[in-house]
Amino acid sequence: MTSPNKPPTLQRRQPRGIDVETALLNFAIVTFMVEPSALRRHVHPRFEPETIIAPDGTEKALISVVPFVDSDFHFVHLPQLKWRFGQTNYRAYVRDTQTDAHVVWFFGTVLDSWTNVVPRFLWRLPWHRARIEFDCVYDEQAGRFTRYQMSAASEWAAAELTLTDTGQSPQTLPGFDALGTGLSLLTHPMQGYYYRRDGKVGGYEIWHDWLQTTVGRAEVARFPLLARLNLVTEGDVSTLHSVLLQRRTDFTIYLPPHKVA
């Protein structure tokens, strides 16, 4: 079970206008260790991959697949209009060399909703349509998932994922001297950047409170997109760094995204 010792709530900038609030369900962070040189080919030169020393003594960068269900996605000024859909983000952990901030670089996102046309065409975000199915069962008393399966049918990023949940809080993370450092990097990036569909660099900000995750294991993890990017061999779980799970977290997205000079 997760630890009852929760860190203080983080200060949240009040959302307004077209900012979005949503509750994310069946939230997972499936992280792989990859070659830093392979990752650099997909990231703007302003950003430098965060690296760790892997258990085998080699330097590795980190990328994650992050699936979840947006359970009540809505604009703050239109709370009566809500949507529910599956989503999966593909991201890498990088350092902004201009600000020295720890941020994420998005390869892109798949969304099981017609609403993906708004960010895709209005803001040129690298968002793609998918049919995403979750088959998850959560045991409230045990504080863990007793079943976690996700699949995505998509031309851009199909996926097949089966996880087991230990119900235990993470005690260590490979490559990090302090657990808090690793958790902050993997679970709490507040700024994201990406190549827009017009080739320019875009960015946006989000907020959520500290996560209280449990440790999972991947039985099946097939992500053809990562194979096409020459980052992870499809279906190979030997380069997994960690699997973190959380039943629910509240989330704020500050919109619109912005172009980065």
pLDDT digits (tens, 9 = 90+) for 161-193: 999 999 999 999 999 999 999 999 999 999 999
Tokens of 230: 């020459």
Nearest to 128 by CA among 160, 72, 90: 90
Nearest to 31 by CA among 255, 240, 238: 240
Backbone dihedral angles phi then psi of residue 38, each to the nearest 5 degrees: -70, -40
Rounded mean pLDDT of 104-123? Answer: 93
Give per-residue burial for 69-82: e unless 16+ CB within 10 Å, then b: bbeebebeeeeeee
**pLDDT at residue 201 greater than cutoff 60:** yes
The model's confidence at residue 1, banded by pLDDT at 50, 70 and 90, is very low
Residue keyed to tokens 């009566």: 80
Q: What is the pLDDT of residue 117?
A: 86
Given a contact cutoff of 8 angstroms between Cβ atoms, the answer to whether 231 and 63 are in contact is: yes
**pTM tops 0.85, yes or no:** yes
Rounded mean pLDDT of 145-171? Answer: 98
Rounded to the nearest integer, the mean pLDDT of the chain is 94
Torsion (CA) 252, 254, 260, 261 in degrees, nearest 10: -140
The model's confidence at residue 6, banded by pLDDT at 50, 70 and 90, is low
Handedness of CA 215, 251, 74, 23 (dihedral sign): positive
The CA distance from 46 to 59, in Å, is: 20
The model's confidence at residue 222, banded by pLDDT at 50, 70 and 90, is very high
CATH topology for the 20-259 domain: Acetoacetate decarboxylase-like (2.40.400)
DSSP designation for 241: E
Backbone dihedral angles phi then psi of residue 115, each to the nearest 5 degrees: -65, -10
The CA distance from 46 to 20, in Å, is: 28
